[in-house]
Structure 1
Amino acid sequence: MATFWIRFSCDGAEGFGTVEGEMVSIHEGGMFAGSKATGEQVPLSDVTLLAPTAPSKIIALWNNFHALAAKMSMSAPVDPLYLMKAPSCLAAPGATIPRPPSYAGRVVYEGELGIVIGRKCSRVTPEAAGDVIFGYTCVNDITAADLIAADPTFAQWVRAKSFDGFGPFGPVVAKGLDPSSLTIRTVLNGQERQNYPVADMIFQPYELVSRISHDMTLLPGDLICCGTSLGVGTMKEPVNTVEVIIDGIGTLTNGFVQ
């Protein structure tokens, strides 16, 4: 049975806890170690959700789904291909994200599964990776698509994905969940645009965590965005609503205004 963790603000103070129906069970200590329920509960409607963690780094995968690789005539990579998003790009669930004033091109949504790390780890095996994963979440890896190849001498992946607000995730982190049967759906302005299974991943979550941990130390709260599949598209309307839906985790909803 999964538990659902959130960070929130209430009456000017930040806190964290678990969601049980329409109530939040408040915890003290640390979310990743020494967490203890205080016995106090507040209605979910009385709190403002924050990004579920404050990651030291956000890692985002490229070419991690067989279906999208086939459509783009790309072979499966030997090792995970990834980039970094600036932690300052985070946005809370429900936030409305404005177009960056320094960029006038296409802005696209990318609905993804996110892995949240729960323990400091380095060079873990795939078999041990489950012990260092705290849980799973919904991600919208927003991208300034025209910026990536704007300069032929240098691909601008980090800038294209790190504008303020381009990293919404949440609304919860689901702990104790098997991600293998999950499906990611993305709905733009009421129309479903993405619907693809985690099972189509080239590098599955445990393998991803293991491989990346051999490159760099992962810290509690770090976020790995597992990559996206078919159906990525541009947010064209003056006001857009994007929902990333993963049954078993929840729905991440954000606005984007031109």
Structure 2
Amino acid sequence: MKIHAYEAITLAAKTRGGSSASAVRTALSALLTLSVAACASVPSSPVPDLQHQAQALQTRRLDDPGLVAAEARLHLPTSADVTWTPDRVTVAAWYFDPTLAQARDTAQRAEADAALAAQRANPTLQLSPEKAISGLDVASPWTIGASLLLPLLHPGESAARRDIAAAHTEQARDRAALAVWRSRARAVTALREVLLARRAQALAQTVAIAQASYLDGVRRRVAAGASSRDAELAAELAAQGAAADLA
């Protein structure tokens, strides 16, 4: 179990009169100033607005000005009517994918934590009432005790914390890079599935047209007595199956 050593600096002043009260306030102000000086802190993140995020998802467009600007910087076509190539789909995925923003935020947070680990640990200010029994006739026996706790780390502990924070930062950066490539893989896979689905739809439509034409020919042959009713039924079933594939 790791034990931290603390050096306690205790100040006490008796609240007898105006000068004593002023001394107490001065001492407390000095301690408070000392406690917040050189303190390491990380700014808090704003609370996400879920309703705003939902509206942003609903209003996404492929002609978004930000996306158009990103495509222009990469010398890609910027019109939504132009054929969507894997590169254009990748840029759109990187622009809209929320996991990339999360990965970038995580990497930035890790960098902030690394900067925090490199700074001095925060001191702790403690205030507590104390009762002084001196035998003197005073207005109030109560005083205010102030303690400033300064954390003292073990030798090498500060360097170890910095190394751990640096490792976490590198890990967050690697995860951000991995998120970028995973986003591209998902985008290209989705594009391939869309293209294959469109191709399959076109082939199914061609088959349905061919089966309908074949059925008309069989019916004419049946009417002319050149084919049997069984051939017509088989052609009807094939035409119905081809039409069902279009649904």
Which has the greater radius of gyration?
2
Instruction: Give the shorter-chain TM-score range.
Output: under 0.3
With normalisation by structure 1, the TM-score equals: 0.17
Please identify which structure carries the higher strand content: 1
With normalisation by structure 2, the TM-score equals: 0.17
